[in-house]
Amino acid sequence: MQQLKQTEHIFHLIYDLLNRQELVETLTIRQENKDKQALVELLTVKQYQGEIQQLLNRLHPYDIANLLEQLPPVQRSFIWQLLQSEHMGAVLLELSDSLRQTLLAELQPTDLIRAASHLDTDEIADLMQELPDEIGDSVLSSLPQQQRENVQSTLLFPEESVGAWMEYDFAVVLENQTLDQVLRELRQKGKLPDESGFIMVINSVGLFQGLLLVSDLLIKRGDLRVADCMLKQAHIFHTTDSADEAARDFERYELLVAPVVNAHQKLVGVLRVSSLMDLLEEQSQRQFLAQAGLSKEENLFDPMMKSAKNRWPWIALNLVIVLIASRVIDQFQTTISSMVALAALLPITANIGGNTGNQVVALVIRGLALKQLDANNLRRLYIKEFSVAAVNGLIWGSLTGLLTLFLYQNLGLAFVMMLAMSGTMVLAALIGVSIPLILKKLKQDPVLGSSIITTGMTDTLGFLIFLSLASLLLPN
């Protein structure tokens, strides 16, 4: 909490410096003495640049990226130019895709090479995918041979695989070494392994054998062999495994680090919880935006037309659905004109149906993500959601019917309202189960558009059910 407050304080200081700089520039432009104007402006800009640079150096790359996301283009470009090259690479990796592309365009190849030199192998691989081929080749050729080979290896793996997320910087020892020998090697390197507290163990041909606890180096006899002390049972991942599944395993089994092996069981990397947290954060942001029909590419201060075009597909889909709903209402003009109360009650069933459907959509999407749904339990899910919706429809439909009777003193209208609420909630639940499953079967992301389609369908069906019942049961 203290760190968050400190970051917010630095943000406010930077905003204030940016605003003061713009004010001084505006005032100096009005000066008659042009030489004096240029001198004052130059000194002022230099002063503010120095102060802002000092503040930026106190921020974590994630916070700098967050600051850049919040600024309009002119101020964002000014801040970006003040960053030192050793910070640029880490900041680029924290930015949204669209903003990263914008800022990459402002960098020279030499700046990118310097920025990449301060990144780990997996981070360089992430950055390489965003670069034009000729610039990417320049960055790649500037790396040491071993790191270059590791980056090329990472780029071969699909983004959704464990191989694309594994890291190459890890400690490894041979099973036939003694603990004293391992300690001597660590002293020579001058650093301990990563914070997980484990060292990877392999045999003479590189096959993974187990995990050695760093604490064993301190509390066990130095003449013991690593093979006699290591943990032979470890959670192992293959390079071709799903990164999503790996992230769930890390959460389920509270893992910090896990070995990654190739098809021949040779140890080729490690998977760390920090990398998978980045994956989960990326997926969370994508799903959050997708539920509203937005692309992860959009940034708050993207150009107007780019943001507008990004939203067109789902606006068009909504327009089609709304037009269908309007045609449904149009078919019941006579019914509505004969009883004005219908117009006031019409949105209730549609809105309740939309809410019911979206609740079910959220549960089904979560079930699909956690692999809890398959052909064996699908029928049980439909029955369960049908039953829940029927109970809720009966309870809340009856309550709404009583409220309608109290407001309009019309028993027939109250009965129609009760039936419409019950029917709409049941249909909404069935739609909420079906839409994500249909999108999944069509090889589309169930998150993208499920809520929009469900809301549109339940609105239309809610209008149809309510007005159809009113036409049949109420006197004209």
Residue 170's pLDDT is 87
For the chain, what percentages of helix, strand and coil (3-state, to nearest 5) are there? 70, 5, 25
**Residue 258 CA to its chain's centroid (Å):** 23
Q: Do the beta carbons of residue 253 and residue 210 sit within 8 Å?
A: no
Q: How many CB atoms lie within 10 A of CB 260?
A: 24
User: Cβ distance 229 to 212 under 8 Å?
Assistant: yes
Q: What pLDDT is attached to residue 297?
A: 56
**Rounded distance between C-alpha atoms, residue 261 and residue 238, angstroms:** 5
Neighbouring CB atoms inside 10 A of 350's CB total: 23
- For CA atoms 149, 152, 157, 160, give the dihedral sign: positive
Q: Do 210 and 230 form a contact (C-beta atoms < 8 A)? A: yes
Helix (H, G, I), strand (E, B) or coil at 67: helix
**Nearest Cα residue to 173 out of 263, 254, 259:** 259
How far is it, in rounded angstroms, from Cα 471 to Cα 466?
A: 9
Span between the terminal Cα atoms of the chain, in Å: 65
What does the alpha-carbon distance between residue 315 and residue 392 come to, in Å, rounded to a whole number?
A: 32
What is the rounded distance in angstroms from the CA atom of residue 314 to the CA atom of residue 320? 10
CA torsion angle 149 150 151 153 (round to 10): 90
Name beta bridge partners: 167: 270
Q: Which stretches of the chain drop beneath a pLDDT of 70?
A: 1-4, 21-45, 48, 193-195, 282-308, 310-312, 314-315, 317-318, 337-338, 476
pLDDT at 12: 79
